[in-house]
């Protein structure tokens, strides 16, 4: 089964277009985003997406953030805040939780020792867990922080309130990024 989540309207259109193609055999799920759109010009031409392929949105050097679905937009906001503090963040939109883009993950874990995953799904058994499984199966070593919905009941509320409650608002993504960088520096200082 194919499991996908679009970051914006263009990605949603392309996933829907791809899902209906004759060559797609079997179930194809698209996590439909709720709330307001993020693109003004969303009527873009349809484009077939390669199944299981994510995309690099931004290069960086200090930490990699992997997102899936709408939270990628929150990551983009967080990165803007972090850049003003001279923190260099790479951003990858995974697009697919299943099949996960192993080529992209090899790139990430070959370059980065600090990785954050962000999703608006459950942390346990979600995209972040699949990233950890990939890391373990391929003998990579990195500090990985997963942001998403905790394994507890979450009350109803406005989306931004829920992002904050679950710990993946733009401010909290930026805070987690600083923490992961600080933790690494503290460990280096203790060892040295």
Q: For the chain, what are the domain ranges?
A: 55-191
- Hey, what CATH topology would domain 55-191 get? Rossmann fold (3.40.50)
| 96 closest CA partner among 31, 10, 48, 151 | 31
pLDDT tens digit string along 86-121? 999 999 999 999 999 999 999 999 999 999 999 999
Sign for the CA dihedral angle at 52, 130, 152, 161 comes to negative
Q: Identify the CA nearest to 117 among candidates 68, 169, 57, 166.
A: 68
The radius of gyration of the chain from alpha carbons, rounded to an integer in Å, stands at 17
- 20 pLDDT more than 80: yes
Cα–Cα distances (Å) from 175 to 21, 84, 142, 178, in that order, read: 42, 14, 19, 5
What is the pTM assigned to this prediction?
Answer: 0.92
pLDDT band at 185 (very low <50, low <70, confident <90, very high): low
Residues 44-85: tens digit of each pLDDT: 889 999 999 999 999 999 999 999 999 999 999 999 999 999
């Amino acid at each position: 089964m194919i499991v996908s989540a679009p970051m914006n309207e263009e990605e949603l259109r392309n996933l829907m277009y791809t899902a209906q193609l004759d060559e797609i055999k079997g179930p194809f799920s698209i996590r439909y985003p709720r709330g307001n759109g993020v693109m003004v010009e969303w009527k873009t031409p349809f484009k077939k997406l390669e199944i299981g392929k994510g995309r690099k949105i931004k290069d960086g050097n200090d930490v990699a953030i992997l997102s899936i679905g709408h939270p990628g937009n929150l990551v983009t906001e967080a990165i803007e805040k972090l850049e003003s503090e001279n923190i260099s963040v790479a951003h990858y939109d995974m697009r697919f939780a299943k099949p996960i883009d192993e080529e992209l993950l090899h790139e990430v874990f070959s370059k980065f020792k600090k990785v954050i995953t962000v999703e608006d799904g459950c942390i346990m058994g979600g995209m972040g867990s699949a990233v950890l499984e990939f890391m373990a199966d391929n003998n990579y070593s990195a500090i990985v922080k997963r942001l998403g919905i905790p394994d507890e009941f979450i009350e109803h509320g406005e989306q931004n309130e829920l992002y904050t409650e679950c710990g993946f608002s733009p401010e909290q993504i930026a805070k987690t990024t600083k923490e992961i960088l600080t933790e690494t520096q503290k460990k280096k200082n203790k060892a040295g």
